Amino acid sequence: LKSSKLIYLNKTSELRSLDKSSCLLIYDLVLEKKFKSFLKSWPRRYGVESGESLKDVKHFPQHIIKILTLAEGVSTKNLHIVSFGGGSVGDFSGFVASVFKRGVELSNIPSTWLAAVDSAHGGKTALNVGPYKNQIGTFYPAQNIFLIKEVLLSQPKERDLEARGEVVKMALLNGQSLYKSLNRVSQPISSNEIWQNLPKLIAGKYTIVAQDPYETKNIRYLLNFGHTIGHVLELQLGLAHGVAVAYGLRFAIEFSRDKGILTELKWLEENLVDCNLPTLKELVLKLKKLKNIESLLAQDKKLSQNKKINFIYVKKPGRCFVKETSISELIHFMKVLKIYG
């Protein structure tokens, strides 16, 4: 996979390395108010409503027609698509760049923590087909990724809390150094603290992607840590993605502990609360609200051939692994948790 250039900036006005006359900026309309003059500096721009419907393949032809019109006058060779928004805008724009005229240049300006830490990196682009998420896509890494403090800090405070899910995930996947620096942050984590840890968090993702760029070896799959139960909670209780993932991580930790897999138990226990994860009690309260978990888990898109869940366990920070696990085992453990909770 081609590697992306990471460019850290304080303000949007510092972004000067692109020739904007050959760029087409695809941006989230939500950013229009806060970044008026920055947006005006891009002669070709296309505002979109973010979210899953932007990624819906059925709207794709209309988008392409607008993009075609906007791109008129720039040679295909020079055309550069720049995505300015969260993960949905990034997945969409990346897909556009990868197929438009058989591929044009791409840069990302992530505007959410999720995009800055996770989705802007690693080259996965995606569209949805009806209710099925990310079923159409390409591997197409951005040439440049601009991480702009002013943009990321423009998110509302609740978003910092939502970010903790992916932040703690990356720390547990990558282990000691990142984990330790995250332990020194406040609770809940503040935007400045996420910003300060951003280079390490991003490096964490690249370490995993580099070992398995096209997801053929179950290594890249590790990035789904905490997402099995996280997705169920997100869907059923309408929790924000990152919040749901934080619960999913707590579940994976407790499950790993129950199985005797989690070895550095004491150390981890002493540090978990500081690491912004929900407590066991909070997890139990959420699980109690779930109905038909069994059928929901059976819909997991990442079921193995023999219909088991590819569950991600943690042995200690920095040592996570995937193992096929039956749905009944997970359900049984949820029942045990509710008895203790």
Ligand X SMILES: NC(=O)c1ccc[n+]([C@@H]2O[C@H](COP(=O)([O-])OP(=O)(O)OC[C@H]3O[C@@H](n4cnc5c(N)ncnc54)[C@H](O)[C@@H]3O)[C@@H](O)[C@H]2O)c1
Per DSSP (E only), the strands in 256-326 are 309-316, 319-325
Does residue number 86 form part of the binding site for ligand X (CB under 6 A)?
yes
Name which of 28 and 254 has its Cβ closer to ligand X: 28
Q: In degrees to the nearest 10, what's the CA dihedral of 13, 105, 118, 325?
A: 170
Return the residue of 4, 27, 79, 87 that touches ligand X, per CB under 6 A.
Answer: 87
- The span from the CA of 74 to the CA of 100, in Å, is 13
Does residue number 262 form part of the binding site for ligand X (CB under 6 A)?
no
Judged by DSSP in three states, 113 sits in: helix
Do 149 and 195 meet the contact criterion of CB atoms below 8 Å apart?
yes
Query: Whole-number minimum distance, CB 51 to ligand X, in Å?
Result: 5
- Which residue(s) pair with 323 in the sheet? 311
Name which of 114 and 194 has its Cβ closer to ligand X: 114
Does residue number 198 form part of the binding site for ligand X (CB under 6 A)?
no
Does residue number 224 form part of the binding site for ligand X (CB under 6 A)?
no
Q: Which of 237, 229, 245, 243 is nearest to 334 (CA)?
A: 229
Nearest residue to ligand X on Cβ basis: 87
Exposed (0-12), middle (13-18) or buried (19+): which is 141, by Cβ within 10 Å?
buried
Name which of 113 and 311 has its Cβ closer to ligand X: 113
Does residue number 51 form part of the binding site for ligand X (CB under 6 A)?
yes
> What single letter denotes the amino acid at residue 120?
A
CA distance from start to end of the chain: 46
Does residue number 226 form part of the binding site for ligand X (CB under 6 A)?
no
Does residue number 50 form part of the binding site for ligand X (CB under 6 A)?
yes
Size of the site for ligand X (CB under 6 A): 28
Does residue number 276 form part of the binding site for ligand X (CB under 6 A)?
no
Query: Whole-number minimum distance, CB 258 to ligand X, in Å?
Result: 28
Query: Whole-number minimum distance, CB 278 to ligand X, in Å?
Result: 19
Encoded one letter per residue, x for contact with ligand X by CB under 6 A and - for no contact, window 13-32 reads ---------------x-x--
Do 240 and 147 meet the contact criterion of CB atoms below 8 Å apart?
no
Query: Whole-number minimum distance, CB 120 to ligand X, in Å?
Result: 8
Does residue number 91 form part of the binding site for ligand X (CB under 6 A)?
yes
- Which residue(s) pair with 175 in the sheet? none
Q: Which of 143, 110, 104, 129 is nearest to 24 (CA)?
A: 104
Query: Whole-number minimum distance, CB 54 to ligand X, in Å?
Result: 8
Do 111 and 152 meet the contact criterion of CB atoms below 8 Å apart?
yes
Name which of 85 and 248 has its Cβ closer to ligand X: 85
Does residue number 160 form part of the binding site for ligand X (CB under 6 A)?
no
Encoded one letter per residue, x for contact with ligand X by CB under 6 A and - for no contact, window 303-322 reads --------------------
In sequence order, the 6+-apart residues with CB closer than 8 A to the CB of 331 are 293, 294, 297
Does residue number 89 form part of the binding site for ligand X (CB under 6 A)?
yes
User: Maximum Cα–Cα distance for the chain, whole Å?
Assistant: 66
Query: Whole-number minimum distance, CB 3 to ligand X, in Å?
Result: 15
Encoded one letter per residue, x for contact with ligand X by CB under 6 A and - for no contact, window 96-125 reads ---------------xx-xx--xx--x-x-
Angstrom CA distances, 72 to 23, 38, 66, 68, stand at 11, 22, 10, 6
Binding site for ligand X (CB under 6 A): 28, 30, 50-52, 55, 85-89, 91, 111-112, 114-115, 118-119, 122, 124, 126, 133-134, 151, 154-156, 241
